[in-house]
Structure 1
Amino acid sequence: MRHIPKTPQEVRHTPKKRFGQNFLHDTSVIRQIVDSIRLSRTDNLLEIGPGLGALTEPLLAEVDGMTVIELDRDLASQLKINIGVNSHLDFTIINDNAMHIDYRKLAETVGKGAFRVVGNLPYNISTPILFRLLEFGDVITDMHFMLQKEVVDRITAEPNSKEYGRLSVIMQYYCMAEYLLTVPKGAFNPPPKVTSAVFRLMPYQHKPITAQNEALFATIVRETFNHRRKTLRAIFKMVNLLPTLNESDFDSIGIASQARPESLLVADFVRLSDLVNQKQQANHLND
């Protein structure tokens, strides 16, 4: 593997709290992450938040080129010095906020097909970035991210578990989710207050089941899990955003009215959403 020497500027870089910076430095963990991604030379690799480049260099050794997005101007400049000077590499640095990128347009500009996305995301804004990327699932093959373990547990959770909730259902509606490995606090500098984990998301190009109204689906998932200790029938009676459903309504879609949100599969939420959508459309026609 190529070795890129550390410069004095890099050594002096102080992690910035406002960017949620915790830099990965454990080489054995880095190797596990890179191996778990299973890269091919021609993959269109995109790294979000490369930081000091601990993952960037071993990733770049596996592919013909890659694009990185780094918000911190100092770190973007350092990456340009450390890696960008190697002119034989196809290495592009974008100094911008990952939340502001049009990934569809970026994929067209790069011109190498769908992205394989990698990143050690700032934990304080990880969920918004994930939801942003879901909007561009058609130009993303898969995503490998490191987040706090608690969040990864929620994303990959199965029904009837305490971790299963809104994040589980929404992510698993759009993607296949897989827990890959646990990363201890000591693998970072400075060590975060929480244990981390690496997981894989593979956006469905053709979803196993599709809601008739995805905005309504998201609303129902959110509102039901806001009252996760109550039964579905009680929730639909008390939440103003949702219509009241009777016993025959629940029977018609094969879901028990006394069930609680955490027991429902993603497909159950879709059927529930479609039922509500049809009732709302019928009511609208009758008005």
Structure 2
Amino acid sequence: MSNKPGHKARKRFGQNFLHDQGVIERIVRAINPKPDDALVEIGPGLGALTEEMLAVNGRLQVVELDRDLIPVLRTKFFNYPEFRIHEADALKFDFGQLVEDGRRIRIIGNLPYNISTPLIFHLLAHSGVVEDMHFMLQKEVVQRLAAVPGDNNYGRLGIMAQYFCKVQPLFEVGPGAFKPAPKVDSAIVRMVPHETLPHPAKDFKLLQSVVRTAFSARRKTLRKGLAGMVTVEQLNRVGIDDGLRPENLGLADYVAIADLLADVPAETGSMLIQPGTDEVSND
């Protein structure tokens, strides 16, 4: 689908409309939608992916912030009476309200680059009602989501995403698949919430605080980066070398630190963050 005359992509919304039919079909095959799925699309734009999804599932719901696109979508898909549009900011939207009859939702979307990181944190907070998520993201963000200890892209985003989900990069998409063409490469990622958390923390907010503090000083050793929060003795007590750097520790290590602190009264309140309020960062 090409960019529709009369609607110019808005930079403040981070809009880059997908138009390459081959890429669209490949995405749909990866998602493999079924007629009875509870499908939710974030940022449908001009409806290129929406059109393919509706052909399979006429009960698709979408969340769109740009009010100028709402009439475009209503007109284009008027013949789908169960198609629902939620005019809302996905960063503030309660995805839990879309659950019906106990069926978990499947979320898809070409996420705007300028809000992708905080939006993913917001969606992770809803992971309990999500079956899976398929997103088009900046390639670097996908690399960060899937990174493992020791990788240059390993950091807070990947750790927190993998706490909740299995992360699977699928394939890359070049700038030419969009109008206007972005200045970066994109990639498709699949995120599937764990049925049972592999490393559940006693206090999730405390885990967030430990990870955030560690990676705010990622070039320092844990001894220095976590000073004032965790002592060398405490690190050694859970079998962690205080001379390591944050990127050397896995999710289980960070949970072990957080669980130790959860059993020890500490002044950590000022450092806690909520899943939906995380700021964009390169950690």
With normalisation by structure 2, the TM-score equals 0.89
SS where residue 86 of structure 1 aligns? coil
Percent identity among equivalent residues? 45
Give how far 1:271 is off. 0.5
Aligned equivalent of 1:152: 142
Give how far 1:204 is off. 2.2
Task: Select 2:230's aligned residue among 218, 236, 243.
Answer: 243
Aligned pairs, number: 266
Aligned equivalent of 1:256: 241
Aligned equivalent of 2:125: 135
Q: For the pair shown, which has the larger CA radius of gyration, 1 or 2?
A: 1
Measured in 2, the distance between the counterparts of 1:115 and 1:102 equals: 12
Aligned equivalent of 1:107: 99
Aligned equivalent of 1:200: 190
Aligned equivalent of 2:35: 41
Measured in 1, the distance between the counterparts of 2:102 and 2:4 equals: 31
In the alignment, is residue 278 of structure 1 matched against residue 271 of structure 2? no
Deviations 1:83-128 (A, max 9, x none): 1x104x52111111112222112324xx471110000111111112
SS where residue 90 of structure 1 aligns? coil
Aligned positions of 1:16-55 closer than 5 A: 16-55=10-49
**Amino acid in structure 1 at the alignment position of 2:87:** N
Q: Which runs of 5+ in 2 are unaligned?
A: 267-283
**Amino acid in structure 2 at the alignment position of 1:15:** A
Which protein is richer in helix relative to its size? 1
Task: Select 2:82's aligned residue among 75, 90, 97.
Answer: 90
Deviations 1:11-49 (A, max 9, x none): 321111111110000111111111111222211100000
Aligned equivalent of 1:230: 220
Aligned positions of 1:179-190 closer than 5 A: 179-190=169-180
Report which structure shows greater RCO (CA 8 Å, sep ≥6). Answer: 2
Give how far 1:235 is off. 2.0
SS where residue 34 of structure 1 aligns? helix
C-alpha contact 1:104 1:139 (8 A) present in aligned 2: yes
Aligned equivalent of 1:219: 209
Task: Select 2:251's aligned residue among 259, 262, 266.
Answer: 266
Runs of 4+ residues over 4 Å off in structure 1: none
**Amino acid in structure 2 at the alignment position of 1:209:** H
In the alignment, is residue 79 of structure 1 matched against residue 84 of structure 2? no
> More deviation in 97-106 or 150-159?
97-106
Question: Aligned in 2, Cα 1:112/1:244: closer, same or farther, shift over 3 Å?
Answer: closer
Q: Which runs of 5+ in 1 are unaligned?
A: 282-287
Measured in 2, the distance between the counterparts of 1:20 and 1:113 equals: 31
**Amino acid in structure 2 at the alignment position of 1:149:** K
C-alpha contact 1:236 1:245 (8 A) present in aligned 2: no
